[in-house]
Structure 1
């Protein structure tokens, strides 16, 4: 992960999000022999995931990562538990539909701001606290965007504030990678397609969306499993010499004509 890191040693990892992609990333890192500290909003979900991590768990901290003080406290707890950080994966986020996200002409300022807080402010605060620590020794940061940022589906997924937030994550990864490469810090992003997570329950229950997913994501024959995204996150997060990249993990969405 850095010039100082011995690859034979377990990495010190922080993952935000305790269900869906976040849980899959944590479990994969643990399977690879690394130590994992979980940060997420729901303490029950955090506790459940850390139980599944077993001896590879370094603990958890329940925090609303939209709030600056909470984000700082979470990273302080991770520092104390792990003695430093080598890899940070920022998954926390979600749909803004409950705030009123949708087509731009219908979006209120409240819906816009709340959706960006949930998806972009969380990424900003996680990235900032990660970079402040990773600059000391080098390391890796992976952000999670969305295929909808660059390959929209206006009829089925017309949530414009969410798409804007996820598009900004790609730009953030690029500029952070450029700025902090001299410090030995790598920053990349993944852009998942339609993944089988708690956030995607609406899609999972909609036969029209399911048929669309079968055509649009032919490699997955429908919705992508979280483990497939976790595999890509870990690969790019652990790959020495790779920085400033956004990798689509979309089952073929971005190259299909559905």
Structure 2
């Protein structure tokens, strides 16, 4: 059997010219790193962040062609505004990467016997509702303009691979697990429109949200056996970039409904305590 016109992805030579992306939560950490990687490959990028100062810094890093929007991802109007801005600026939108989310610890997320209703609701709002709103707005854009496109959502290994001693936030785990189910469900429903939806599930990365864990020597020691790749270190923002580029590139047109762990071996390893 002979197949013709098969495009193989080569990350080093991957070309993103004439593509445009929105990154929800793209002004710091993993989102900003992905934005930089896309920009370096030739894409146009609009990044969304809650903090006006971080938006200005992101714009300075990404350069004059790219733009930012200060807004709360849990506000239904934020994603809609971002999409209109990107369409007006770039003429079209190729895809969206939803990174926005966060820990609900300060509102009361934790172990189930201690979790507060506020902690539960806020964590769901930050991680699941915000993603639903951005995905809904992006799908509506693709349908309205009769365009195919890609959506990539940020999950977490904690959505399916718990670590009970150091990472006890049951609302966060539930939200990240729900992201997988939601993404697979909409990937199935909109596949006939060539709208692709996938999920990246990272382990512990050095991000502003991970400050508590990244400064705890016991947790860092535990990580050496829990995510043992490359010396047993926390992930760096750049470690997800290859996966982001692969999922978002238009040539990945036969990939949807997938969950890719970028976790240093977390889900495969037991992890040892001192």
Give the TM-score range, shorter chain. over 0.9
User: Equivalent residue for 1:224?
Assistant: 235
1:70 aligns with 2:78: yes
Cα shift readout 1:42-69 (whole Å, capped 9, x = no counterpart): 1111111121112451x11111011112
Query: Equivalents in 2 of 1:139, 1:70: separation in Å?
Result: 20
Bigger radius of gyration among the two: 2
RMSD: 1.3
Q: TM-score, normalised by structure 1?
A: 0.94
Match of 1:46 in 2: 55
The offset of 1:230, in angstroms, is 2.2
Aligned to 1:108: 116
On the 8 A contact 1:40/1:63 being kept in 2, the answer is yes
| Structure-2-length-normalised TM-score | 0.88
Aligned length: 251
Whether 2:107 is the aligned partner of 1:99: answer: yes
Alignment of 1:87-236 (within 5 A): 87-135=95-143, 136-220=146-230, 221-236=232-247
* C-alpha separation in 1, matches of 2:240 and 2:17: 24
Following the alignment from structure 2 to structure 1, what is the Cα–Cα distance between the partners of residues 241 and 134?
Answer: 18
Q: Is the 8 A contact 1:61 1:74 kept in 2?
A: yes
Match of 1:26 in 2: 35
Q: Cα distance 1:94–1:254, how it changes in 2: closer, same or farther (>3 A)?
A: same
SS in 1 for 2:190: helix
Query: How far apart are residue 105 of structure 1 and its match?
Result: 1.3
Give the match's secondary structure for 2:192: helix
Unaligned runs of 5+ in 2: 1-14
Moved more, 241-250 or 67-76: 67-76
User: Which of the pair is proportionally richer in helix?
Assistant: 1
3-state SS of the aligned residue for 1:37?
A: strand
> Structure 1: which 5+ residue stretches go unaligned?
1-6
Alignment-derived partner of residue 244 in structure 1? 257
Three-state SS of the structure 2 residue aligned to 1:106 is: coil
Higher mean C-alpha deviation, range 70-79 or range 235-244: 70-79
| Distance in structure 2 (CA, Å) of the matches to 1:172 and 1:83 | 29
- Residues 39, 179 of structure 1: CA spacing in aligned structure 2 closer, same or farther, 3 A cutoff? same
